[in-house]
Structure 1
Amino acid sequence: MDKPSSSSPKKKKTRGVTALLRFIAKLPDGEKYQIDFDPDTFQPIGQYAAKFKSYLSFIARSKVSINEKQWKKISDKLKDVIWDDITCKFTCPTDKEFRKHWFVYMGERLKQFKTLLSNVYIFGKGDKHGNTTPFEKYKFIKEEDWDLFVQTRQKEDFQVS
């Protein structure tokens, strides 16, 4: 008769944090990933299209504090830093409409990320992350920022809106 296993149950393997660090690290200094864009919709086309959109999402999450109330309120200086980071890695048109389109996209991705953090780590809906804290899983979140984020999200006026 077989003995029952004394080891703890295996954790379900889930998709990890999308950091794209290996993808970006492969890029030699001074070179950029070539991306074409649809001139009418600004949507990326080609081999690196999905990576471009993933990278924008990552940059928005990692460069902008989770405690920023609105994307529109982010300083122009920070937006310039973010845009410089993107244009150092990818070929992009330089017109203002193009940039505006992708900043709106990044704002939406940051909002989704903050909703995910709230649902999983604060309100416990679908907690698949075991005992990890968000500042352990997402190295760009500082513990003091997380504490403030939790306080804000638990306020009654936030939960009503």
Structure 2
Amino acid sequence: MSKRRRGERGTASLSTKKDASAYHIEFDNNMQPVGPNATHFSSCIGMYVRTRLPYQIDTKDLTTKHWEGFWSHLKGKWHLENDGPKGLVFEKAKKIATNWRSKLVTKYVNAGTTPFAKYKYLEREHWDAFVAEKTSPAFVVYVN
């Protein structure tokens, strides 16, 4: 088992088999997840963003098909009975996706490295296009 630095977490807790009660989630009046599984639900949203949404497409350019597929998977895994929390989940997922892309740029594109050793689930075939976009003169001017 490899040692991790404080603050680094893997996907192990999200990939283990859990019984059906571990995927029961409740929401308050504001559609915020509450109860003993609220943290696990939020963590799953983050993992699903990283593993199910294409990192090479800007968050604002993701299609309805991407979001509906994301929601369908989340809804099936968590046995969500209705679409009440959908809007809030999408808001949270969009922030996570934007931060994820930013992290890829900061830690890997700007450093001239690739993330595939750490994030084995990322698709390699899109990396070159992602790097080209993030190092283009238009992007550099936009950021500065």
Q: Please say if 1:37 is aligned against 2:27.
A: yes
Query: What is the rounded CA distance, in whole Å, between the counterparts of 1:158 and 1:45 in structure 2?
Result: 39
Q: Please say if 1:89 is aligned against 2:80.
A: no
5+ residue gaps, structure 2, are none
- Residue 19 of structure 1 is aligned with which of 11, 16, 37? 11
Shift of 1:61: 1.3
Shift of 1:17: 5.3
**Tell me, what secondary structure is at the counterpart of 1:83?**
helix
Greater than 4 Å deviation, 4+ residue runs: none
- Residue 59 of structure 1 is aligned with which of 38, 48, 60? 48
Q: Give the equivalent residue in structure 1 for 2:104.
A: 117
- Residue 36 of structure 2 is aligned with which of 47, 68, 90? 47
Alignment deviations for residues 24-77 of structure 1 (CA, whole Å, 9 cap, x no partner): 53134xx3611111112x211111111111111111111111111234x32333
Answer 1 or 2: which has greater helix percent. 2
Letter in 2 for 1:43: Q
- Residue 94 of structure 2 is aligned with which of 107, 115, 126? 107
Identity %: 24
Paired positions, count: 139
Flag the 1:159–1:132 CA change in 2: closer, same or farther, 3 A. closer
Query: What is the rounded CA distance, in whole Å, between the counterparts of 1:54 and 1:86 in structure 2?
Result: 12
State whether residues 135 and 146 of structure 1, in contact with CA within 8 Å, keep that contact through their aligned partners in structure 2.
Answer: no
**Tell me, what secondary structure is at the counterpart of 2:132?**
helix
TM-score, normalising length from structure 2?
Answer: 0.81
Letter in 2 for 1:137: K
Query: What is the rounded CA distance, in whole Å, between the counterparts of 1:27 and 1:132 in structure 2?
Result: 36
TM-score, normalising length from structure 1?
Answer: 0.73
Alignment deviations for residues 58-114 of structure 1 (CA, whole Å, 9 cap, x no partner): 11111111111234x32333322211211222243513x521211121111011011
